[in-house]
């Protein structure tokens, strides 16, 4: 059986978990925090990043590598089209969401979600890049009704996991939901995808973990 390692507050962990559930692959979960110094963890994910998985053949890290492995190894419920070009268009959307939107917005996370601050220069840079990149993403994405078109696919697992963070971080730090300001109706899309039983399971377990962590912090305060 596969083991998914990481924690549910990670959007990339949720992306992999979403795919595992959608494809009906049996798996178990192991709590591993990011940047763990344990040698057993670093042997699986050399940078200490999560998620990673343990397979019968050995470990794999990097969420998109994991998804491509799952798609090739468990083709019974495909999340990529059989046509190579259409499959590449799904991966193109994933790259846009994660590299050009989420990774840029991630610079705002310390202030948005973790009680820290980010410099004015960082805020200005993030606003400029996100404004440009969201406009590009809008030209690429279809939302008809899914991000790649009529059929739910792998790109939706990535978009559902990351787009809310981009919107929330920009609103909390920059004072404006840049996704909505850029004409992306992400809330309706997230609601649609969130109606899937698999998405509901991921969201419910993520919420339960958030509540547990909040309770632990309150005890320590």
Report the predicted TM-score, pTM, of the whole model to 2 decimal places: 0.95
Q: How far is CA 184 from CA 131, 146, 172, in A?
A: 12, 13, 18
Check pLDDT > 70 for residue 145. yes
Q: Tell me the per-residue pLDDT of 119-129, one tens digit each, with 9 for 90 and over.
A: 999 999 999 99
158 Cβ neighbours under 8 A, 6+ residues apart: 15, 93, 94, 97, 98
pLDDT of residue 214: 77
Helix (H, G, I), strand (E, B) or coil at 146: strand
Q: What is the DSSP string of 76-93?
A: TS-SS-SSHHHHHHHHHH
Q: Tell me the C-alpha distance between 63 and 78, whole Å.
A: 17
Instruction: For 10-66, write each residue's pLDDT tens digit.
Output: 999 999 999 999 999 999 999 999 888 999 999 999 999 999 999 999 999 999 999
- Per-residue pLDDT tens for 56-111? 999 999 999 999 999 999 999 999 999 999 999 999 999 999 999 999 999 999 99
């Amino acid at each position: 059986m596969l083991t998914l390692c990481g924690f549910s507050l990670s959007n990339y962990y949720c992306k992999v978990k979403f795919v595992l559930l959608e494809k009906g692959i049996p798996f178990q979960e192991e709590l591993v925090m990011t940047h763990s110094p344990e040698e057993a963890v670093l042997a699986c994910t050399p940078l200490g990043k999560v998620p990673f998985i343990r397979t019968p053949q050995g470990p794999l890290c990097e969420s998109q590598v994991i998804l491509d492995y799952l798609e090739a190894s468990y083709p019974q419920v495909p999340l990529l089209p059989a046509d190579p070009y259409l499959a590449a268009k799904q991966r193109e959307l994933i790259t846009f969401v994660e590299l050009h939107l989420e990774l840029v917005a991630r610079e705002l996370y310390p202030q948005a979600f973790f009680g820290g601050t980010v410099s004015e220069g960082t805020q200005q840079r993030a606003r400029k890049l996100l404004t440009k990149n969201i406009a590009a993403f809008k030209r690429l994405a279809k939302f008809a009704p899914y991000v790649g078109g009529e059929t739910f696919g792998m790109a939706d697992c990535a978009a559902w996991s990351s787009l809310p963070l981009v919107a929330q971080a920009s609103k909390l730090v920059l004072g404006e939901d840049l996704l909505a300001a850029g004409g992306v109706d992400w809330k309706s899309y997230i609601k649609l995808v969130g109606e899937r039983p698999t998405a509901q399971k991921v969201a419910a377990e993520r919420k339960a973990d958030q509540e547990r962590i909040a309770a632990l912090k309150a005890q320590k305060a």
